[in-house]
A and B are shown apart, each in its own frame.
Chain A
Amino acid sequence: MLIHWNNFCERSNASLSKSVTVQIHISPNDGVPIYLQIVNQVRYLVGSGRLSPGEEIPAIRVLAQQLLVNPNTVARAYLELERAGVVTKRHGSGTYVSEAGSPLARRERLKILTQRADALLAEARHLDVEPDEVIKLLRERHEILTQSQK
């Protein structure tokens, strides 16, 4: 019993000592490369304000162990996020969400919606629905949703 308790303490200390965590979930089978799933979810967390500017994100090997994915995959995702200006690496200390303020956050939010819009338009094309009809449908749905919220 003692051993299990020690084991438990060690583990929780290890995770507490660096309390930086992000809620990311990986599904290897959904057709999107794992590095891109990480990129998209960090973008989403930043865009939706669940990660704020200046906040630290986990070290590569910590996230790799949390997600059970290859560290090179996480490194690649972080590089991509850094290039896109979403995160900034500070020498010797870690990786942080960029201090770019709201214009970038808005751009990120639009970027997320752009991906959804592309998927919607692709689906519409397969179903032989014209873009104008899709726009009309969006307006209709918007009205229904705002009315149901009143």
Chain B
Amino acid sequence: MIEIKSLSRRFGSKLALDNVSLGVPGGVVFGLVGENGAGKTTLIKHILGLLKAQSGSVRVFGLDPVTDPVGVLGRVGYLSEQRDLPLWMRVDELLRYTQAFYLKWDAAYAEQLRRQFGLDPASQIKSLSRGECAKAGLLLALAHRPELLLLDEPSSGLDPVVRRDILEAIIRTVADEGRTVFFSSHLLDEIERVSDHIAMMVSGNVVLSGPLDAVKQSHHRLTLRFGTARARPPALAGALSVHGGGQEWTVICNGTLSELMAAAANLGARVVEQGVPSLEEIFVARAGAKSLKTQPPSDLS
């Protein structure tokens, strides 16, 4: 569905995307995780063809979004982080206006969504609350039943009730129609709930990508206990982050469990606790590891 190869982008002296490669299969919910400034929005703008690749390539439905915007954008629903809607329009005017851009606009579906989201057709956009603006933006992205739904931080800054509406819309989109959803978020429990594939970005790099299950199965949280107190953290092969002190240290690490257990035994440690880290723990560990030293990206797909 989306194929990005060795994409790099520089803004002045800042390297916003550093040799990013990413594949998004059709029919999945793909969650893009990263801190603010990690390059998520820049990546999404390349997928939409709003930015031209300086090096590397971007293909959406096998097409180049920069040279074939009509072929790509007509099949994509997009909700920008800014929700840049024309403030002076009314809700019904905005629907009619947007309809004109899409051949496949489904007016009945748009009306159904409008009622479901509780948007008054006579309201002016500038009078809408933040949550209503997000819903209006989502309505515009959904009403032409796009093959690919691209959402940039869809639930950022919204209250839990509106977030629920947005997540529900994502789920309905994939469940009813088998469409593909690509969304970025820094809310990791949200990503963990609805995604089946994820990618993690840290300062312009994709440090991890693959099916969520594979990502979770390849990371472990181990608590090691040593016979004597240690002044320095243990150097366990595959460790992404180490916390603790004295005799006990908790390590978030990447690898197979048997290898990690063997590595722990080699260090003279007993594993007293073992668990599956949350996506949040994996992300924090990866982001920390990246800022200390450059980690080779692990591709699990």
Spell out A's residues near B (CB within 8 Å): 3-4, 6-7, 10-11, 26, 28-29, 31-34, 60-61, 64-65, 67-73, 126
Contact = CB atoms under 8 A, between A and B. Distances in A.
B107 interface: no
A71 B115 contact: no
A126 B272 contact: yes
Contacts of B280: 29
A31 B192 CA distance: 11
B174 A71 contact: yes
21 contacts: A3-B115, A4-B118, A7-B116, A7-B118, A28-B192, A28-B193, A29-B278, A29-B280, A31-B277, A31-B278, A33-B213, A64-B171, A64-B175, A68-B164, A68-B171, A69-B171, A69-B194, A70-B195, A71-B171, A73-B196, A126-B272
A65 B171 contact: yes
Contacts of B193: 26, 28, 34, 67-70
A65 B176 CA distance: 11
B275 interface: yes
Interface string B71-82: 000000000000
B194 A68 contact: yes
B147 to A, nearest CB: 17
Contacts of B168: 65, 68
A11 B221 CA distance: 42
Interface of B: 29, 115-116, 118, 120, 164, 167-168, 171-172, 174-176, 189, 192-196, 213, 216, 272-273, 275-280
B266 to A, nearest CB: 22
Contacts of A60: 175
| Interface secondary structure of A, over-half rule | helix
A112 B164 CA distance: 32
Contact of B118 (A3, A68, A69, A73): A3
Given A3-B118, A68-B194, A69-B194, A61 B176 contact: yes
Contacts, number: 66
A68 B160 CA distance: 12
B115 A72 contact: no
B172 A61 contact: yes
Nearest to A67: B193
Contact of B275 (A28, A31, A34): A31
Contacts of A3: 115, 118, 120
B196 A70 contact: yes
Contacts of B275: 31
B276 A31 contact: yes
B276 to A, nearest CB: 4
Contacts of B167: 68
A32 to B, nearest CB: 8
A122 B91 CA distance: 59
Given A7-B118, A71-B175, 10 more contacts: A3-B118, A6-B115, A29-B192, A31-B275, A34-B192, A65-B168, A68-B171, A70-B174, A71-B171, A72-B196
A108 B167 CA distance: 33
Contacts of A29: 189, 192, 278, 280
Nearest to A4: B118
Contacts of A6: 115
A70 B194 contact: yes
A34 B276 CA distance: 12
A28 B185 CA distance: 15
Contact of B189 (A4, A28, A65, A72): A28
Contacts of A68: 164, 167-168, 171, 193-194
Contacts of B164: 68
Given A61-B172, A71-B175, A10 B116 contact: yes
